[in-house]
Structure 1
Amino acid sequence: MATNKQITETLKRVLGNTYALYLKTHGYHWNVEGPSFKSLHELFEEQYTQMWQSIDEIAERIRMLGTFAPMGGEILAGATIDTADNSVPSANGMVQNLVAGHEAWLEDTAAALNEAEEAGDTATETLLGDLITGHEKMAWMLRASLER
């Protein structure tokens, strides 16, 4: 059975991945171009705003479990979603990159949810379940925005 310390380490990874995806989405919001500019600019803003709120919720859950939330560069330390690529792809490339990011986020967070379930941490289960639903919707909206 996972301990609070293990759950907080898992939540730090979820926090880092959420922050990485937030940064990528916000950067794409600033730099998207092309015929779908307006709709993607607005979609990216809607999504990064939602992720910003969830970053706070995850950090507060870490605090509730008795651990300090990571700060500064430490936030991304456990992230598995890469933020090193600073190139500006096409609008469709941006959407594809974000879909891949959400899929990676969902896979990792499903494992975190299983850990919380095994630990009997219903508050973390609820938080992660709600976040998963939100990211599934974001991924769906992005997939629906891809040019075919």
Structure 2
Amino acid sequence: MSQTNSIGLHEASASQLAEKLNELLANYQIFYMNVRGYHWNVKGSQFFELHAKFEELYTDLLTKVDEVAERILTLGHQPVHAYSDYVKIAKIAEDKNVSDGEACVRGVLAGYQSLIELQREILSLASDADDEGTAAQAGDYIREQEKTVWMLNAFLG
């Protein structure tokens, strides 16, 4: 019989989930900074609308950064916490010096699509491991972000 951690999950499953969650954490951190940059640098006729929207989005992303890190700790593992590691681990690339509103929105869409794909992988792993906590977290994030993707696509026409 395999070892279990303090919340009753098999350690091998918890370790695999923590590794994927660290990948998610890295992507959230890079994406957070991208959206922060869009907020700071957006220009054009839709400045006021997009500036406010990007602030709403990066505030939510920052909350999720903390929640993902805390989930990794709950699984008994350590969250990655160096930007140099985030850049190595993340699939989302840094998006520098973007100021065109439509390009910013497209960057946000691409980031959410990457997060949703990774969260679906985590949801599947968590379900296989009977990890309801991680599965619920991933499912909630997916649901929220799918709606945001729909709305941003509607914004672009």
TM-score under structure 1 normalisation?
A: 0.91
Task: Check conservation: 1:19, 1:76, Cα contact below 8 A.
Answer: no
Deviation of 1:120 after TM superposition, in Å, equals 0.9
Spell out the pairing of 1:1-148 with structure 2 (5 A cutoff): 3-73=13-83, 74-83=85-94, 85-146=95-156, 148=157
Deviation of 1:64 after TM superposition, in Å, equals 0.5
Task: Check conservation: 1:47, 1:138, Cα contact below 8 A.
Answer: no
Partner of 2:43, secondary structure, is coil
Deviation of 1:144 after TM superposition, in Å, equals 2.1
Deviation of 1:62 after TM superposition, in Å, equals 0.3
Task: Check conservation: 2:43, 2:99, Cα contact below 8 A.
Answer: no
Q: Distance in 1 between matches of 2:41 and 2:135?
A: 35
Q: How many residues align?
A: 146
**Structure 2 residue ranges without an equivalent (≥5):** 1-9
Deviation of 1:10 after TM superposition, in Å, equals 0.6
Deviation of 1:16 after TM superposition, in Å, equals 1.1
Q: Distance in 2 between matches of 1:30 and 1:98?
A: 14
Task: Check conservation: 2:87, 2:93, Cα contact below 8 A.
Answer: no
Partner of 2:39, secondary structure, is helix
Cross-structure match for 2:7:
none
Identity among equivalent positions (%) equals: 36
**Structure 1 residue ranges without an equivalent (≥5):** none
TM-score under structure 2 normalisation?
A: 0.86
Cross-structure match for 2:4:
none
Between 1 and 2, higher relative CO (CA 8 Å, sep ≥ 6) is seen in 1
